[in-house]
Amino acid sequence: MLHAAFLGDSNVISFIHDWVPLLLMLALVGLVFMTMRLVPRTKPAEIKPQETPQIVWADIAGVDEAKAELREIVDYLKDPERFHRLGAHVPGGVLLHGPPGTGKTLLAKAVAHESGATFFSQSASSFVEMFAGLGSARIRRLFSAARRHAPAIVFIDELDAVGASRGGPGDNREYDQTLNQLLVEMDGFGSTGNVVVIAASNLLAKLDPALLRPGRFDRQIFVSPPDVAGRESILQVHSRLKPVDPDVDFSLLARQTSGLTGADLANICNEAAINAARRDGLQLETADFDQALERVVAGMQSRRRMTDRERRVVAFHEAGHALCAELMPSLDPVHRISIIPRGRALGYTLNLPAEDRYLRSREELIDMMTMLLGGRAAEQIVFGSVTNGAADDLKRVADIAHSMIHEYAMGTEVNSQRLADHLQSESARRMHDAEVRDLTDEAYRSATDVLSRHRPQLNQLAEGLLARETLERKDIEGVLEGIPAARPDRRPGIHLGLAAATTPEATSTSQ
């Protein structure tokens, strides 16, 4: 009996050893299949329209061309029959592209409010899913919901997240399916009726060509940074509900903010209000806007303490920038010089453009490089050595010189052709490098010559900075009174922005 019991126990152990792992594996596979069967049965979340944004045309300034283009969309959605009688149909898609902060999203919201259309807003990244088919299914649900609520506007922000060119490195079938579904919904296979797709992107060059053809995005509207009149209008829009001192000159402030976008200007108005609240003021004064501009453009005031020698180096560095800017014929007059550290910059020079400029001559670009190299030249003249404070200046000079030769063909020998870097022969590259070196050397010699001939004024500007830390336009004019420009044909020039001394790990602030 003992032998029989032992045999029975052996059979049980053998059964457990042979069959239990197999049964556990089968149970696990069954659980996985049950889960996969249940997942598709989960009802997807319904896509609902957003509350109509309370943005009107009057809330948007500085983008008059884009507003004029979009008014036609509003007119169509309000009265489609007027267009149907003549055989016209609404553009199926409108692509708003341009730098960040120029008001693309605000424009889409204004179209929805002014037209009274139902508004659907989605970020393109919400269509990018990990599981196959979910992204394209979400696009189908979105357009289906939009057709049910027509007339409707579908706004897709950051379109490049789902609409980038196909055929790049790697293979992502889910990404391609999502983009293909968007293409189908926007062309004749998925007629959208009175549904307008408005998309925004900062990267037009990266979008798939199939998206950009007529029939999908019929209109491409470039939303550019505002000009001086647009900047003044934007500042007034963002200040109209704030108690602003009547003495605040928005025209002057607009001239000081060349190159800034609507978002930057809105931030300046908000920072001005914060400054006024910080000092318990009843109104926003000019000083509040000046401080806000410095904070937005140059960064917050730093608590770093410099040695006396460092302060002298920075003072002469910024004085060199300012003096070259004043004496170069094509550059804008200097509005303010400061050696108060802000952000990662140890000082800055702010120019005041007379007007916005879009074309630059060879002479103007050389003057620009001369101004940038004025800080380095001043250090060499005064102290007999140079510091790392010109790191950002040198980078910007190199970029300008490289563009002059490689893109604008503004060299001595290279003056009629533009060649891509990777297509040049070794001899052509050597010639181009020599041309770049000649341009930068010419600008540095010009800066050294100007500062050497006006050394007393350089000293006065630097000593004024050391005593007061900041010099305004009237102070600069007092120092330079009676000095003619380097050339008699002085004219309004390009606003380059801020030129500043830097620490080793920093870059100069710029507009």
Q: CA geometry: angle at 160 spanning 103 and 105, to 5°?
A: 20
- Integer-rounded Cα Rg, in Å, for the chain is 32
* Residue in the block written with tokens 């283009």: 69
Secondary structure letter of residue 40 according to DSSP: G
* Residue in the block written with tokens 């620009």: 368
Residue-wise DSSP of 103-149? SHHHHHHHHHHHHT-EEEEEEGGGG--SSTTHHHHHHHHHHHHHHHT
Neighbours of 45 (CB within 10 A): 8
SS3 495: coil
318 classed as catalytic = yes
Per the structure block, which two tokens stand in for 277? 């609240």
Neighbours of 212 (CB within 10 A): 15
Residue 175 φ/ψ region, left for φ over 0, alpha for ψ in the -120 to 50 degree band, beta for the rest = alpha
* Residue in the block written with tokens 């940038």: 372
Interatomic CA distance for residues 111 and 290, integer angstroms: 34
The amino acid occupying position 329 is P
Catalytic residue, candidates 232, 271, 294, 318: 318
Interatomic CA distance for residues 332 and 286, integer angstroms: 22
Helix, strand, coil share of the chain (percent; to 5): 55, 10, 35
Could you list the beta-strand ranges (E) of 259-413. Answer: 334-338, 348-351
* Element holding 165 (H helix, E strand): none
Q: Hey, which residues are catalytic here?
A: 318
